[in-house]
Structure 1
Amino acid sequence: MSSTPVVPFSEPPYLAGLPSPYYKPTHLKWQKAIREFISKHLLENALQWDTEETVPEHVFETFARAGMLIPSLPAPLPVEWLKRLGIHEILGAVKVEEFDYIHTLIYCDEMARTGLAGPSGSLTTGISFGVPPILKFGNKQLQERFLPELLTGKKRTCIAITEPEAGSDVANITTTATKTPDGKHYIVNGTKKWITNGIWSEYSSMAVRTGGPGPTGLSMLVVPLKDCPGVNMRRLKVGGQVSAGTTFIELDDVKVPVENLIGTEGMGMRYIMTNFNHERLTIAIGATRQARVALAAATEYILKREAFGKPLVEQPVVRQRLARCGAMVESQWAWVEQFVYQMTQLPKEVADIELGGLTAMAKAQAGIVLNECAQCAQLLFGGNGYTKSGQGELVERIYREVPGIRIPGGSEDVMMDLGVRQLVKNFKNKTKALERPKGSSKL
């Protein structure tokens, strides 16, 4: 329980002194340990680094040495691999075998306390989304070659799916991987766009077309990037998340050993969609905290800012605007908490089916909530919220980041549609399973 008054909307209820059924002592210990670490090594300079559009390399190294990149992986963690690498606990706060998705929730929430997606994303996006395909679907030789350096942060990776003409429409990517006549290599040609962390990555888990059109022609490869012949990378200027290293990648006859195939040819679409669940959920968690940061800043501002002879908080219209957005952010957080709890209770294969569509909807709704809260904060800050310096600087920056939540990881409209389609599909499958077989008196 907090021993000091907490600014309204500034913390999740469990950190504001209210009871919660979700958090055990291990979670509370974890939250306390990582808040101290993240505040010291990221939060203090995050706005400055984001303004400079690059987080210094030493920050990544500090997080890697402390094992503080590993919590960005899906829970449960790859315990066997981590112990082989001498990693038995993180910050002395949690053993790797005890780490669950509520620890993940706390980690993502704390990393987003900067209010910005760029600084934390510059550190974690690559390992969070690029490593899981190798962990889940890679064979033993592939894992032995790449995981030791990737899990310890000695080398960096990214996920490379999106293309200039295929964003949310993953099934229609055009980057090709054609086997050489001797069958020993793939020759990769194409382009990837909006690849977070790409510019710093030695490798990528890349979606490629090894077969015909449509989803069944897709596969995934570990493709080398930095200093690899035929690979050309350049950073893209984007409106938000400016420090996350958004990259345009051109691949011209890039030679990749066939041993770099992740899993089985033609199974790429399945691997990609499974990976998306973790990506979308972590986006939803981070975006909800960003909304909280914006709203808390606005609350502090209206408590001290005076207009027409009295503090802004005494204006009914101001309280009404704040209340509407406060209800949205607290409702969204309650959904995210419930969602994560369900993931700790369901087997992975069940969660993928039951929660897949809902994950897409949670991610989309988080973007909507962030948009409303960031806009509310900017309006309450007035001119200060429209200025790229001074007391409203962070709020102005957060509002610019909204499209970076609503578009990447599956654009909002596509996610809402996907969510309903998946729920309807599940309903039909369950209904069909209950139908009485023809010629049988048994259910």
Structure 2
Amino acid sequence: MAVSTPSVPFAEPPWLNGLPSPYFDASHHKLQRACREFIDKHLNRSALQWETAEELPSHVFSDFARGNFLLPALPAPLPAEWLRKLGITHMPGDIPVEEWNTLHGLIYADEMSRAGLAGPSGGITTGMAFGVPPLLRYADKQLQDRFLPDLLLGKTRSCIAITEPDAGSDVANITTTAQISECGRFYIVNGAKKWITNGMMADSATMAVRTGPEGSGAKGISLLVVPLKDNPGVSRRRLKVAGQISAGTSFIELDDVKVPRENLIGKEGDGMKYVMNNFNHERLFISIGVTRQARVALSTAFAYCLKREAFGKTLMDQPVVRHRLAKCAAALESQSAWVESFAYQLTKMDKANADKELGGLTALCKANAGMVLDECARCAVLLFGGNGYTRSGQGEIIEKIYREVPGARIPGGSEDVLLDLSIRQMVKLFQQKTASLKEKPQL
């Protein structure tokens, strides 16, 4: 693919700079062009302004729904039968819904983060990306029929509500309870959810609750669709976090909230399994966006160093500056190549096999993305100097990206937990494969 205007080094992944790639075909290039045009116009051009104002205008979500730019946040393969039932036959870039794969999803997630900020894009995609998939995978027909049409068309919004004040990455110890009412028709939900992205805007939550007795751990967890909007007993308030402010992070309290028993997703007691399987898409989606944020930070610093002068020459003429940029570039391009490899592998694997084979590595990829962003953002702040420490002016985007580093390293499973989880899961997989070899009869 010919590139008419050269971009700043590291501003784009190699395949968008015209270099050969074994992964991307004509449909991927067509999608990328469609995403670049729509997302730049409707999101990226104003993303910095909206994040500074700490609010995403409500029309933005509607704009994305009308343009069919919400559904690409779903994991591949897409629910083609559902989409065709709703009159949706093609995705952006004129790609048939049946042909959409994880590489298409990677392109969308990458373009959604090209402003360098997680808040505005997260304010649009989080509910569709993480709240809707459990309904698609595990809910029965009546529950799907009640909720999916409006969710998929963007008429209503969802969120994923798992984390609690005293249970973050330790999902098995959540304490929000869902007990059967005396009449037997409802779950009565009590508890609190904290740091819930999109929680302020969502009409309903895909919520992890404890249906088992106290002390039942992972076996006592279930998933419910909990209506939030105008539902008695539900109260929500905005949480002011350091970064990603416009994504609507919230604290949700539930006081004797009635939820129909028909809102149970899948089987009672299987919620932990559903949550863990859902995490794989969430972590890869986050990895892609965070990798693009690192790219924005590094390329912005690169452009600044080409023009900023100190001690009689540009910063780029200083060996120590080039050394800093080089180290970050190596980490960034390695992470970027890893993410592309992941997406390609997922185009060749069914979900059950991918969850088994790649679950641990997905956790590791997400953790590494946060560490790479930390290196690139810190490097950019140092090279921008005082400008990178100022909330306005030419270093504003760098200052904001650096404040978002903890948001890349904590949500979706905090870094230390994911590093440990990745190795434990890979050891478990290795032991299972070793044991199966021993059990095979010798010929």
Unpaired stretches in structure 2, ≥5 consecutive residues? none
- SS of the residue corresponding to residue 71 of structure 1 reads helix
1:302 & 1:429 partners in 2: Cα distance? 51
Partner of 1:218: 221
Partner of 2:236: 233
Deviations 1:18-42 (A, max 9, x none): 1100001000000001100000000
1:436 & 1:407 partners in 2: Cα distance? 41
Per-residue deviation at 1:366?
Answer: 0.2
Partner of 2:153: 152
Residues 218, 272 of structure 2: 8 Å contact kept: yes
Deviations 1:160-213 (A, max 9, x none): 000000000000000000001222100000000000001111100000000132
Deviations 1:192-242 (A, max 9, x none): 000000111110000000013200000000001011000000000000100
Residues 66, 90 of structure 1: 8 Å contact kept: no
Alignment counterpart, residue 273 of structure 2, candidates 261, 265, 270: 270
Partner of 2:301: 298
Partner of 1:53: 54
Partner of 1:17: 18
Describe how 1:399-418 pairs up with structure 2 within 5 A.
399-418=402-421
1:192 & 1:317 partners in 2: Cα distance? 46
Residues 33, 93 of structure 1: 8 Å contact kept: no
Partner of 2:179: 178
Aligned residue identity for 1:76: P
1:112 & 1:202 partners in 2: Cα distance? 25
Alignment counterpart, residue 379 of structure 2, candidates 371, 376, 389: 376
- SS of the residue corresponding to residue 199 of structure 1 reads coil
Alignment counterpart, residue 319 of structure 1, candidates 315, 319, 322: 322
1:38 & 1:94 partners in 2: Cα distance? 17
Partner of 2:206: 205
Alignment counterpart, residue 340 of structure 1, candidates 338, 343, 357: 343
Residues 139, 263 of structure 1: 8 Å contact kept: yes
- SS of the residue corresponding to residue 158 of structure 2 reads coil
Partner of 1:420: 423
2:37 & 2:432 partners in 1: Cα distance? 47
2:6 & 2:125 partners in 1: Cα distance? 32
Partner of 2:246: 243
| Distance change in 2, residues 1:31/1:92 (3 Å) | closer
1:218 & 1:343 partners in 2: Cα distance? 28
Residues 160, 195 of structure 1: 8 Å contact kept: yes
- Give the alignment's TM-score, normalised by structure 2: 0.98
Partner of 1:308: 311
2:284 & 2:101 partners in 1: Cα distance? 14
The answer to whether the aligner puts 1:442 opposite 2:442 as a matched pair is yes
Alignment counterpart, residue 352 of structure 2, candidates 349, 353, 361: 349
- SS of the residue corresponding to residue 42 of structure 1 reads helix
1:195 & 1:348 partners in 2: Cα distance? 26
- SS of the residue corresponding to residue 183 of structure 2 reads coil
2:299 & 2:74 partners in 1: Cα distance? 29
**Number of positions where the alignment pairs a residue of Structure 1 with one of Structure 2:** 440
2:266 & 2:301 partners in 1: Cα distance? 49
Residues 27, 93 of structure 2: 8 Å contact kept: no
Per-residue deviation at 1:252?
Answer: 0.1
RMSD: 0.9
Residues 30, 93 of structure 2: 8 Å contact kept: no
- Give the alignment's TM-score, normalised by structure 1: 0.98
2:388 & 2:97 partners in 1: Cα distance? 42
1:46 & 1:6 partners in 2: Cα distance? 21
Deviations 1:254-280 (A, max 9, x none): 000000000000000000000000000
Per-residue deviation at 1:249?
Answer: 0.3
Partner of 1:29: 30
1:392 & 1:90 partners in 2: Cα distance? 36
The answer to whether the aligner puts 1:433 opposite 2:433 as a matched pair is no
Q: After the TM superposition, which parts of structure 1 deviate over 3 Å for at least 4 consecutive aligned residues? A: none
Partner of 1:100: 101
- SS of the residue corresponding to residue 22 of structure 1 reads coil
Unpaired stretches in structure 1, ≥5 consecutive residues? none
Deviations 1:47-88 (A, max 9, x none): 000011111011100000111000000011111111111111
**Fraction of identical pairs, as percent:** 66
2:272 & 2:400 partners in 1: Cα distance? 35
- SS of the residue corresponding to residue 223 of structure 1 reads strand
Per-residue deviation at 1:90?
Answer: 2.4
Partner of 1:137: 138
Per-residue deviation at 1:415?
Answer: 0.2
1:442 & 1:412 partners in 2: Cα distance? 43
Describe how 1:274-285 pairs up with structure 2 within 5 A.
274-285=277-288
Aligned residue identity for 2:195: W
1:183 & 1:427 partners in 2: Cα distance? 45
Deviations 1:288-324 (A, max 9, x none): 0000000000000000011100111000000000000
